[in-house]
Structure 1
């Protein structure tokens, strides 16, 4: 069972070997766990260079001076902090669950995945923020760091409800003003609304690094229905009557094609996309995004 922070104990234990990081090297002020292209007195040795007036004496390699009679400075990769944003889709369709895992909805999964991202950021000393978007508009927790920031984000997640449709773009302006170029944005959504996909594309085009986790039900993956069924769109209320067995092959074919098309579209925009089905381990999509490289595990 998950506690008030939404993270089951077994999942928390498996988070220990994950590292929240983006693919782009971005310089910044302060020290974090993300190597950048800037040089300075960081942690990872990069190269020697000749001493210049103004360099700190502690950077001089005195052993090399003893051998060469010249002053050289040890230059290192400067560790730059990361700012991570989590965007949670709280429109009505995110309230859907299925029989494969009763009581577990897309929004529940989004809450738990968001909490995991916050935990990773907290562990690394990174800043993080939260945007919840749905029928109530935009609820924003500006980026910050530390345990109190995590608690603020968790309180907003606890209050989130899946309702209404995705709001118009004007109501999302505060997100654009807060999530800056070079920062990491993790979008948690079923991606069924065109506006969600368009937001991911626009954020990527504006030089945010965007990761998209599509949250899907096991029933959408397997379509186990038999006999007559009434299928209802939670956002529009539209209903379709269909025979489950007769519709299965056509649904699975079209659903697979739609997911493939979405993946290609987002990849073309520079957005990395992974899928999460509600009956899978919670940390599975995070492993696809943030698993350490073999060189880092060595």
Structure 2
């Protein structure tokens, strides 16, 4: 991704985003009207607005009188609702430069930045505040939380500038994350999930009453290990190399990869962190739908 390349969202993905909601699992405050229902429901709450019916909405919410007049289903949003501040955390360490040989121009970082742009669109369509945090060899870079189209432009500007390099920074350099992400905020982390220090940060944020979600982004080659000949495998962060015959080590690799995946997901689940996995050869919104579609397990 060059510094001048737009953060493009494919038209089909943008269309599907309209059905998603960044719904927090914890109760929120009552600072205004947004699209995040608080736990205060029932009599005495004022009518907010109508919106088109979407799969997953309860039938009791449909305004049947309006349906009789318009022959279209609309839902009454009459609960007191509160906005949320959404933070997108992008892992920009050297491993984010990884790409599949079939599409060498599309790296994990490119995919993460495009996914971040999708999350920004979701926050924007809900009227939420949102900010960006990039963590990697350059330390911590961020766009403070704000709202509106100009805030989206500020986030896109930093996304275009990001480069994959270095490793995860030491804990003392992560102070800006703690200063900006407040209790009750939602943080969606994008990365491969293989850095123990990165997972530890998410665990600490979740324990400190932040709403944390993790979207693991992996290459198709990590998933399938299609190598069938002699190959040099290199860790981009440590420089360590392994020479091996792809066909000979494939079964052992896939077994260890599956074991590592199970361990990571169990660790996130134990910390109360909702998680989904996306691959570079899949649509951007695949893991977003797993987390934020109506009725999603998250």
TM-score, normalised via structure 1 length: 0.85
Residue number among 264, 267, 271 corresponding to 1:265 in the alignment: 267
2:217 match: 215
**In the superposition, relative to structure 1, how do residues 255 and 162 fare at CA in structure 2: closer, same or farther (>3 Å)?**
same
Write out aligned runs for 1:266-281 (5 A). 266-281=268-283
Alignment gaps of 5+ in structure 1: 46-75
1:28 match: 30
Root mean square deviation, CA, Å: 1.6
Question: How far does residue 227 in structure 1 lie from its aligned partner after superposition?
Answer: 1.2
Question: How far does residue 99 in structure 1 lie from its aligned partner after superposition?
Answer: 2.1
Q: Contact (CA 8 Å) 1:137, 1:167: kept in 2 or not?
A: yes
The answer to whether residue 17 in structure 2 is matched with residue 8 in structure 1 is no
Which protein shows a greater Rg? Answer: 1
Alpha-carbon distance in 1 for matches of 2:206, 2:191: 16
1:43 match: 47
TM-score, normalised via structure 2 length: 0.85
Deviations 1:108-134 (A, max 9, x none): 111011000000110110000100011
Deviations 1:188-237 (A, max 9, x none): 01111111110110110001011101111100111110111000000111
Q: Which moved more, 1:4-13 or 1:108-117?
A: 4-13
Q: Which moved more, 1:273-282 or 1:34-43?
A: 34-43
The answer to whether residue 237 in structure 2 is matched with residue 229 in structure 1 is no
Give the SS at the match of 2:39.
strand
Write out aligned runs for 1:37-116 (5 A). 37-38=39-40, 41-43=45-47, 77-116=79-118
2:61 match: none
Alpha-carbon distance in 2 for matches of 1:214, 1:27: 30
Alpha-carbon distance in 2 for matches of 1:224, 1:42: 58
Alpha-carbon distance in 2 for matches of 1:182, 1:42: 24
1:173 match: 175
Aligned length, in residue pairs? 262
2:242 match: 240
Give the SS at the match of 2:38.
strand
Higher strand share: 1
Question: How far does residue 41 in structure 1 lie from its aligned partner after superposition?
Answer: 4.1
Deviations 1:77-120 (A, max 9, x none): 31100110000000000000012433111101110110000001
Q: Contact (CA 8 Å) 1:189, 1:214: kept in 2 or not?
A: yes
Question: How far does residue 44 in structure 1 lie from its aligned partner after superposition?
Answer: 6.8
Residue number among 105, 127, 130 corresponding to 1:128 in the alignment: 130
Give the SS at the match of 2:266.
helix
2:59 match: none
Question: How far does residue 43 in structure 1 lie from its aligned partner after superposition?
Answer: 3.4
Alignment gaps of 5+ in structure 2: 50-77
Alpha-carbon distance in 2 for matches of 1:81, 1:197: 27
Q: Contact (CA 8 Å) 1:90, 1:135: kept in 2 or not?
A: yes
Q: Contact (CA 8 Å) 1:127, 1:145: kept in 2 or not?
A: yes
